[in-house]
Every structure is written in C-alpha cells, then in structure tokens.
Homo-oligomer: A and B are copies of this chain.
C-alpha cells in the first residue's frame, strides 16, 4: 500500500501533504491511470492517520482531476498527462521570440518603420512632463469613451487646417489603432452588413473583418480604384477604401470615381464608405488630395486616420470621424466602452498638435521622405539596370512600385533579392487571385531604409537584374 514519510509534512496540513505525495506519484507515473487507490479507511489505518485526512486528500485529488470515484467501487487514478511541472519556464516559442535575431537586411523595403532620430522624443517627454505638472488630476479622471475632449478638439482643428475637413470634436472617436476602430465599426454597423474591401489591399484588414465575424467580400479595382459595378455585383453595403493613396497600388482615386462612390452610398440608407486616409500626410508632390468625407453631403462617409505613420506605429493612437447623424446612435450603442488610449498619451498628443509641434514634425518628415524618395528614384534611374525596371508612382505616400523585366517568376526574383540582403514583397502577395498584369511588380516601402544604404541597395537590385 502507499507509504509516505508523513513526518516530513513539516508545517503543511497533513491532508495537503498526503494529497501532494499522491499527486506526485500520479504525475511521475508511479501510480498509473486506472489503478485503484486504497480505500480511505484502509489507507488511514495503514498510515496511522484519521480517515478525514485521507478524505481531504482524495477530495482535492478528485477535484483537480487526478482521480475519480466510482460509486461503491472506490477511487481510481485518472489519465493525467503531466500538466507541465515546468510551466514556470519559458515555453520554446518564447525562447524563440527572444532569440529570433532580425535578419540583417541591407535594405528592408517590406516593413514599415521609422528611424529613431525622426521621432521628437525630447518634445514628447517634455510635453508629457508638462501635462503631469499642469493637470495631474485630469490624468486620473476616466476619459470619455470617445476620447478626451482636448485631443478631439485638436484633431478637429488639425483636420480643418490640413485636410479641409470641417468636423466637430463631437464626431471624433479616439482608439488604440485603426484595427480596434474597425472592430467597433463592425459592432456598430452590424455583422450582417456586407463589408467590401479593395483587392489588392492589406491582408490585415480582411483578417480583421473576418475575425469580427463580418460578412465581407473583395472588390476588384481598375486604374481609378474600386469599380462601381463590382459593388453592385457583390451587393456590398459598407465599402472600405483608401482613396488618397491606395496600398499597394499607389492609386489616387480621381474625383469622378469618388463622386460615383458617394452616389452609390447615398442611394441606400444602410450604405457607408469607410475612408482610410492612413498616409495622406505624405503627399510629397503637388497639392494635397481632398478627402471623400469633405465632398460628401449625405453623411455617408466614416473617415479614419492614424498617428502610426505620422508619429510612430508604437504609440497606438488612431481616430475616426463619424458622420454627424450617427454620432448619437453610435454613442448609444457602444458608448459604454472605455477609451482604449491612455490619458497620459491623449493629453500629450493634444498638446503636441495644438501647440504646433505636429505640423512642424509632419513638415520635417515630409521633407525627409521627399529627399529619400528622390534620392532613391534618381539612383534607380541612373542604375545600369534602369532599362529593366519601371517605377510606378503617383507622387504620394511612403511607397511606390517597381516593375521588373518579366523573365523570372516573382518568388525566384524575391529570393534572389533576399540573397543580396534586399527584402521586398511582390505586388501579387496583396491580391486574392492576382491578375497576370500584376506580376513582376514589387513594392518599395522606403521609409525605414537608411539613406546611407540606398546606393548599395540599388546596386544590389541592379546586380540581380543584370545577371
């Protein structure tokens, strides 16, 4: 029969010690699944302890699933797989995550990132200190669900000055990333609505609609953006577009198509356009592109923007502007949610915008990216492989396309670039069923590539194309 050195229980209650001993034997396999445990009385007598103690131990073993009782037959060891005595240690995946060394690309044209020297750390931390010094109390008062008013007012003012958008602070909803705001929109508009996203486009947007349980479809585009007939054919109800600068094609939707889409939206009460204006600050040549919301008179456009591109993706602040007429229903339906952005960062950003730092920062960034872009374009133009590639760009945003001589399949080409430590993604990766004419086209997200590396990067691209 089971025998344990009960004198070693120390200060532990006896039943707990006994429980622990038996548990260990089950986990180690000394007691096997299906094995019958001694009767309570039998074990109590054997160990010279009370039945109640054994009962306590068995009870806990049962409750935790280490054994089962069969009426009138006794207690039997359950099939318990060692439930991770090593739990406390890092799982292999976490280890991987720590050890995962970022591949040392010469130039990573696939990842969006900004250089640390661009972020206005000094200003940001100074403003935060001021926020704390001037109004610590406000920092601890729960933010309205839509965000704190000073930030919403600052954004409204910013939109008025820089996007020609005349909206009130009341229409603005602050959230921790556009991904979160899409979630809210699905909850507000309804999962039964048919959401429509651009094809090609960010896979992430599709994944979000999918994860939210929304009914969503993909609309093909022509050179002007999403086609009206597609919307009709797909019976779309909510259209998600990025008209200022489509990713990845770079298309800027012409005004005519915008009006067509507005007409489509106005035709039925349940139709809305979600306008994702994610990198409109980086119109690098020509005049800024007006927003679709700005020319909408039917309250059909929900405008979205983020500080991910203009500040950093690692401060999670995005916002949307609701059409006036849905402000109230939105508040009624989802106003119970707490705002997902910290007060500290909401108030700091409010100051950052309203005191003019944001404008200065954007101007500095724009100049920086324009220089980088021009440098890269001129390097491509003067490269020995210039005849084997074509730049496709519309003067906007932080990426453009490069079409290559079509003799090599995209995946082979991508691998050849990788061997040269150039990371680029082909356009077809962003398509669901990519059309033939999109092949051999790669996306150049140049914002995160060091100036000093550009020349070498273009030389490497040339080398691949010339061999």
Digitize A141-165: 1 where CB-to-B-CB distance is under 8 Å, 0 elsewhere.
1111000010000001000100000
Residue of B nearest to A84 (CB): B324
A166 CB–B CB distance under 8 Å = yes
Q: Does A53 contact B (CB under 8 A)?
A: no
> Which A residues, 291 to 344, have Cβ-Cβ distances below 8 Å to chain B?
295-299, 312-317, 324, 327-328, 331, 333-334, 336-344
Question: Please, which residues of chain B bring their CB within 8 A of the CB of A331?
Answer: 93
Report which of B87, B156, B191, B208 forms a contact with A324, defined as CB distance below 8 A: B87
Min CB gap A287→B, angstroms: 12
Inter-chain contacts of A121 with B (CB < 8 A): 132, 136
Q: Would you call A33 an interface residue if the criterion is a C-beta within 8 Å of the partner chain's C-beta atoms? A: no
Q: Size band of the A side of the interface?
A: 35 or more
Whether A229 sits at the interface, judged by CB under 8 Å, is: no
Q: Is A262 an interface residue when CB atoms closer than 8 A count as contact?
A: yes
Residue of B whose beta carbon sits closest to that of A341? B316
**Contact B149 A94, beta carbon cutoff 8 Å:** yes
- B315-A344 in contact (CB<8A): yes
Any B CB within 8 A of the CB of A177: yes
Using A113-B142, A187-B211 as known contacts, say yes or no to A343 and B324 having CB atoms under 8 A apart: no
How many chain copies does the complex carry? 2
Check: A212 CB closer than 8 A to any chain B CB.
yes
Known: A87-B168, A262-B64, A314-B141. A340 touches B177 (CB 8 A): yes
**Given A80-B297, A266-B65, A328-B93, is A139 in contact with B340 using a C-beta cutoff of 8 Å?**
no
Q: Provide the A208-248 mask, 1 if CB < 8 A to any CB of B, else 0.
A: 10011100000000000000000000000000000000000
> Is the Cβ of B65 less than 8 Å from the Cβ of A298?
yes
Query: How far does the alpha carbon of A212 sit from the alpha carbon of B97 in the complex, in Å?
Result: 31
How far apart are the CA atoms of A259 and B166 in the complex, in Å? 59
The complex places the Cα of A183 from the Cα of B256 at a distance, in Å, of 39
Within 8 Å by CB of A344, from B90, B256, B314, lies B314
Within 8 Å of chain B (Cβ to Cβ): is A66? yes
Does residue A63 face the partner (Cβ distance < 8 Å to B)?
yes
- Contacting residues, chain B, for A337 (C-beta < 8 A): 179, 208, 211
User: Is there contact, CB below 8 Å, between B137 and A97?
Assistant: no
Is the beta-carbon distance between B328 and A342 smaller than 8 angstroms? no
Fill in one digit per residue for A101-119: 1 if any B CB lies within 8 Å of its CB, else 0.
0000000000001111001
Other than the given A63-B260, A94-B169, A97-B149, 19 more pairs (CB < 8 A) read: A63-B256, A63-B262, A83-B297, A84-B166, A87-B167, A87-B168, A91-B324, A93-B328, A113-B140, A116-B136, A119-B139, A128-B128, A139-B312, A142-B313, A143-B314, A176-B176, A180-B180, A187-B211, A191-B213
